[in-house]
Amino acid sequence: MGSVQQQGQGDGNQQGKSAARTVTLIVFNLHEKLHWKGLWFLFSHHGEVVGSFISRKRSLGGYRFGFVRFTTMEDAMSALDKLDGFTIYGS
């Protein structure tokens, strides 16, 4: 799955209860077969996930990337520690 990096804490401009005060991780090098629900499922084992999104655009290197939003910094850091460098679907 490539690397997982902390993007930062929510800015409060997003609507909805779950968007306020969240922590978002950006996930690089996603496999073509991975759907946003799979991303949510994988990360939900390491904390409370309130959203996931896979961009239609590609990174400068041509890879897919996405975002996973957590309720707390602790959950996000747990996922970061456990899934950084994790491989799914062989990539």
pLDDT digits (tens, 9 = 90+) for 62-89: 999 999 999 999 999 999 999 888 887 7
Q: Has residue 14 been placed in a domain?
A: yes
6 has which bridge partners? 25
pLDDT for res 2: 44
pLDDT digits (tens, 9 = 90+) for 7-47: 555 444 444 444 468 899 999 999 999 999 999 999 999 99
pLDDT for res 50: 96
When pLDDT is cut at 50, 70 and 90, the band that residue 90 belongs to is low
49-58: strand order across its sheet: 4-9, 23-30, 64-70, 49-58
Q: What is the CATH number of the domain that holds 61?
A: 3.30.70.330
Q: Has residue 91 been placed in a domain?
A: no
Distances (CA, A) of 45 to 13, 50, 57: 27, 13, 27
Structural contact between residues 48 and 71, judged by C-beta atoms closer than 8 angstroms: yes
pLDDT for res 11: 45
Q: How many domains does the chain have?
A: 1
Token look-up 């759907």 returns 35
Q: Has residue 88 been placed in a domain?
A: no
Q: What is the pTM of this model?
A: 0.75
